[in-house]
Amino acid sequence: AGNMAKSKFEYVRQFELDDRCLPNTWIVVRVDGKGFHKFSDSHGYAKPNDERALRLMSRSASAVMDEFKEICVAYGQSDEYSFVFRKEAQAYSRRSSKLATNVCSLFTSAFVYHWSEYFDSAKPQYPPVFDGRTVLYPSDHNMRDYLSWRQADCHINNLYNTTFWALVLKGGLTPHEAEERLKGTLSGDKNEILFSQFGVNYNTEPELYRKGTVLVRRRGPVPLPNGGTRDKSQIFQSNTDLIGEDFWKENSHLLNS
Ligand code: ATP
Ligand code: ATP
Ligand code: MG
Ligand code: MG
Ligand code: MG
Ligand code: MG
pLDDT digits (tens, 9 = 90+) for 5-55: 899 999 999 999 999 999 999 999 999 999 999 999 999 999 999 999 999
* CB-facing half-sphere around the CA of 152: CA atoms within 13 A: 8
Question: How many structural domains does the chain have?
Answer: 1
Q: Give the integer Cα–Cα distance in Å for 78 and 156.
A: 12
Question: What pLDDT is attached to residue 61?
Answer: 99
Whole-complex ipTM? 0.95
Q: Residue 29 is part of a domain; what is its CATH number?
A: 3.30.70.3000
State yes or no: pLDDT of 91 exceeds 70.
yes
Question: What pLDDT is attached to residue 198?
Answer: 97
State yes or no: pLDDT of 1 exceeds 60.
no
For residue 234, list its beta bridge partners: 218
Q: How far, in Å, are 160, 177, 187 from residue 183 at the CA level? A: 10, 10, 12
- The one-letter amino acid code at 46 reads A
Q: Give the integer Cα–Cα distance in Å for 6 and 81.
A: 41
Look at ligand 2, atom 8, and give the residue with the nearest C-alpha.
35
Which ligand is nearest the CA of 91, by number? 1
Of 41, 42, 57, 78, which is best to mutate to test ligand 2, by the most ligand atoms within 8 angstroms of its C-beta? 78
CB 74 within 8 A of CB 61: yes
Of 40, 52, 208, which is best to mutate to test ligand 2, by the most ligand atoms within 8 angstroms of its C-beta? 40
Which ligand is nearest the CA of 102, by number? 1
- Where is 231: in which H helix or E strand? strand 229-238
Phi, psi of 49 (to 5 degrees): -130, 120
Confirm whether 194 is domain-assigned. Answer: no
Q: Which of 200, 144, 147 is nearest to 170 (CA)?
A: 200
Give me ligand 2 centre to Cα 199, in Å.
27
- Ligand 2 atom with the shortest distance to the CA of 38: 6
Q: pLDDT averaged over the chain?
A: 97
Domain limits at 103?
A: 18-151+212-254
Pairing of the two strands 26-33 and 80-85: antiparallel
Q: Give the integer Cα–Cα distance in Å for 108 and 195.
A: 38
pLDDT tens digits, one per residue of 49-84: 999 999 999 999 999 999 999 999 999 999 999 999
Confirm whether 224 is domain-assigned. Answer: yes
- Ligand 2 atom with the shortest distance to the CA of 54: 27
Q: Give the integer Cα–Cα distance in Å for 252 and 26.
A: 16
CB 179 within 8 A of CB 164: yes
Burial zone of 134 (CB within 10 Å; 0-12 exposed, 13-18 middle, 19+ buried): buried
- The one-letter amino acid code at 152 reads A
Q: Give the integer Cα–Cα distance in Å for 237 and 214.
A: 6
Question: What pLDDT is attached to residue 54?
Answer: 98
For residue 80, list its beta bridge partners: 32, 77
Q: Give the integer Cα–Cα distance in Å for 101 and 98.
A: 5
Which ligand is nearest the CA of 37, by number? 2
Question: What pLDDT is attached to residue 191?
Answer: 98
Give me ligand 4 centre to Cα 197, in Å.
31
Confirm whether 225 is domain-assigned. Answer: yes
Tell me, rounded to whole angstroms, the distance of Cα 188 from its chain centroid.
27
Look at ligand 2, atom 17, and give the residue with the nearest C-alpha.
37
Question: What pLDDT is attached to residue 3?
Answer: 63
Of 36, 156, 179, 239, which is best to mutate to test ligand 2, by the most ligand atoms within 8 angstroms of its C-beta? 36
Residues with C-beta less than 6 Å from any ligand 2 atom: 32-37, 40, 45, 47, 49-50, 53-54, 78-79
Confirm whether 117 is domain-assigned. Answer: yes
Confirm whether 67 is domain-assigned. Answer: yes
pLDDT tens digits, one per residue of 146-200: 999 999 999 999 999 999 999 999 999 999 999 999 999 999 999 999 999 999 9
Q: How far, in Å, are 144, 195, 217 from residue 257 at the CA level? A: 15, 45, 13
Confirm whether 240 is domain-assigned. Answer: yes
Look at ligand 2, atom 29, and give the residue with the nearest C-alpha.
49
Confirm whether 6 is domain-assigned. Answer: no
Confirm whether 188 is domain-assigned. Answer: no
